[in-house]
Structure 1
């Protein structure tokens, strides 16, 4: 003979699968964010690699005045397009129409000033509102390199070593890994992947409590030979099942997208393995259980279906507050973060993405932090179910 809570669970779960609204929420929040995340990152990668694919074209006015500089541009794969005299309005129009990355105007006295060892004036015109900032920096780097080379040659011509004007030689060594550098950004992005835990089971939780009471079908269910906790547990697990399915599918879909994208092109890395994600999914099961139990407990205190939906609108965003607060305050990872529902899941995934060895304790704390509150909410809902005032909505 099946347990009574299992019979209630199977009954509620079958009805939930027939509810298009519940299935729509499950599909929407499972697919929407990973796909949007993939599209945004793909556009960033596409923008970052655009200069390499298309090359850099620089319009130069009076290019014949500085042949050595033009040669150095060509060595850096920058295509030089000689231009005739242009006024400021023509240059601005050319940049606004995106006909070139930048315009370099060389002074008519460039050669005279160069030979007299006076500063030779050049003007670099660009549009800061365009998306060519990376290519503009490449052009400026060539100009700075050219100026440094000329200065070194002049010092040597006067018998002075270029090292004299550079008493300190700075060498930079970055020991940070790509995964560690991108962990903060990835952690902030993927923190929203846990949102299905609080949204996918919402419709089922409200319909099985406030909805059934409004339809007067709850009275029939209460007349059956079953304890109140058995009824609540069955409804709770049915609603939580959708949340668990949603959050698991979304995590693995995001994992597939992040593994497929060439994140190295934008200085990011995705070092989370399938085993790591499986452990995170298991540790996140209590989060779905907690969200569903809280929704059922809150919906029981509403007098109608619409009132329950209005009350739960505010409850939905409560688990997101700690994560947003930690992000805005830029707090370092601490062990207490694994004791806060939702924040613990976000912290766990972020630390795994960083590539750190976190041990077993964070997984256990993440699991227990939500599970304790889930059981407490179920106990409250079971106690509330015993009340005739609740069943009769008085």
Structure 2
């Protein structure tokens, strides 16, 4: 014989799965965030490697006046297009067409000033509204290097060592790894994947409480020989199951996408193993249970279906606040962060992605910080359901 809690659980789950629109929304929230993360990172990789793949097209007016400069530009995979003199309006039109990254113009007095050892003006025309900022910086780096080489040659010609102009030589040593660098970015991006835990359980929780009360089916259900904790527990577990399944699939999909993307192209990496991901999914289960418990408790105390939706929609922003504050204040990882639901999950996956040994305590704290409040909220909701005023919505 099945327990009453299991009967209520299966009944609520079956009713939720029958609604195709609800299933469509659940599937959308499950797939949406991992796909967005994949597209954003793929776009970043594509943009950062565009110069290597396609090179840089540079229009040069008066290229014959500086053959050495043209040679250095060619060494940096910059294609020089010798262009006839043109007016400013024509240069602007050429840049807006996005056929070239920039326009380099050498004035008529360039050669004269160069041989007289006076500053020889070089004009760089560009469109700051275009997406060629990286290519333009590479051109500017070549120009700066070209100028430095000329200055060094002139100093040597006058018997002065170029080293005299650099009394301090700074050497930089970066001890950061790809994993630690990517943890800040990718780990923060992955943190948003825990938010759907609060979205996926909302519809079922509201419909099984405020919705049933409006349809007057809750009175019939409470007339059955079942304890209030069995009724509330069945509804809670049904709503939470949707969140657990959705968030687990979401994390697995995001993990597969991050493992497939060539993150090393942008100096990043994703080093989580499937075993570590399963542990993260396991400690995320209480977060889904907490989300379901909050929705059940709030929807129970709402007098109408619309009121329940409005209240929960406002409360949905609360889980974002701790993560936003930590990010805004740029706080370092501390033990107290593992005591705040959802923030603990975000902190945990960020620390794991760094590749170090996290230890067992963060997993345990992440699990308990959501599991304990979830049980307390459901206990309160079960006690609240004993009141006739709740059933009659008075």
Question: What's the TM-score bracket when you normalise by the shorter of the two chains?
Answer: over 0.9
Structure 1 segments unaligned to the other structure (5+ residues): none
User: What is aligned with 2:147?
Assistant: 147
Work out whether 1:89 is the aligned partner of 2:89.
Answer: yes
User: What is aligned with 1:261?
Assistant: 261
Task: Identify which range, 38-47 or 294-303, moves more after superposition.
Answer: 38-47
**Partner secondary structure for residue 193 of structure 2:** helix
Cα drift, residue 111 of structure 1 = 2.2
Work out whether 1:219 is the aligned partner of 2:232.
Answer: no
C-alpha distance in structure 2 between counterparts of 1:269 and 1:291, whole Å = 31
User: What is aligned with 1:241?
Assistant: 241
Structure 1 runs, 4 residues or longer, greater than 6 Å off? none
CA contact (8 A) 1:22 1:201 kept: no
Cα drift, residue 98 of structure 1 = 1.5
Cα drift, residue 244 of structure 1 = 0.2
User: What is aligned with 2:129?
Assistant: 129
User: What is aligned with 2:336?
Assistant: 336
After TM superposition, the structure 1 = structure 2 runs for residues 97-116 of structure 1, keeping only pairs within 5 Å, are: 97-116=97-116
User: What is aligned with 2:177?
Assistant: 177
C-alpha distance in structure 1 between counterparts of 2:25 and 2:15, whole Å = 15
C-alpha distance in structure 2 between counterparts of 1:31 and 1:182, whole Å = 23
C-alpha distance in structure 2 between counterparts of 1:276 and 1:204, whole Å = 30
Task: Identify which range, 111-120 or 253-262, moves more after superposition.
Answer: 111-120
After TM superposition, the structure 1 = structure 2 runs for residues 284-299 of structure 1, keeping only pairs within 5 Å, are: 284-299=284-299
C-alpha distance in structure 2 between counterparts of 1:309 and 1:249, whole Å = 25
C-alpha distance in structure 2 between counterparts of 1:58 and 1:207, whole Å = 62
**Partner secondary structure for residue 316 of structure 2:** helix
CA contact (8 A) 1:22 1:200 kept: no
Task: Identify which range, 362-371 or 153-162, moves more after superposition.
Answer: 153-162
Cα drift, residue 115 of structure 1 = 2.0
User: What is aligned with 2:2?
Assistant: 2
CA contact (8 A) 1:341 1:366 kept: yes
User: What is aligned with 1:309?
Assistant: 309
**Partner secondary structure for residue 82 of structure 1:** strand
C-alpha distance in structure 2 between counterparts of 1:392 and 1:123, whole Å = 79
User: What is aligned with 1:15?
Assistant: 15
Cα drift, residue 41 of structure 1 = 1.6
User: What is aligned with 2:366?
Assistant: 366
Task: Identify which range, 341-350 or 111-120, moves more after superposition.
Answer: 111-120
1:100-152, CA deviations, whole angstroms, 9 ceiling, x for partnerless residues? 11111112222222222222221111111111111111111111111111111
**Partner secondary structure for residue 379 of structure 1:** helix
**Partner secondary structure for residue 103 of structure 1:** strand
**Partner secondary structure for residue 79 of structure 2:** strand
Cα drift, residue 274 of structure 1 = 1.2
CA contact (8 A) 1:339 1:365 kept: yes
Cα drift, residue 308 of structure 1 = 1.3
User: What is aligned with 2:60?
Assistant: 60
CA contact (8 A) 1:25 1:199 kept: no
| TM-score under structure 2 length normalisation | 0.97
Cα drift, residue 23 of structure 1 = 1.3
CA contact (8 A) 1:294 1:374 kept: yes
1:14-36, CA deviations, whole angstroms, 9 ceiling, x for partnerless residues? 11211224312210100111112
Task: Identify which range, 366-375 or 74-83, moves more after superposition.
Answer: 74-83
Work out whether 1:161 is the aligned partner of 2:172.
Answer: no
Task: Identify which range, 237-246 or 186-195, moves more after superposition.
Answer: 186-195
1:88-108, CA deviations, whole angstroms, 9 ceiling, x for partnerless residues? 222112112222111111122
**Partner secondary structure for residue 147 of structure 1:** helix
After TM superposition, the structure 1 = structure 2 runs for residues 173-212 of structure 1, keeping only pairs within 5 Å, are: 173-212=173-212
1:22-71, CA deviations, whole angstroms, 9 ceiling, x for partnerless residues? 31221010011111221122122111111112111111111111111111
C-alpha distance in structure 2 between counterparts of 1:388 and 1:136, whole Å = 72
C-alpha distance in structure 1 between counterparts of 2:20 and 2:210, whole Å = 18
C-alpha distance in structure 1 between counterparts of 2:316 and 2:101, whole Å = 47
| TM-score under structure 1 length normalisation | 0.97
1:183-230, CA deviations, whole angstroms, 9 ceiling, x for partnerless residues? 222233222101121011111111111111222222222122211111
C-alpha distance in structure 2 between counterparts of 1:329 and 1:318, whole Å = 18
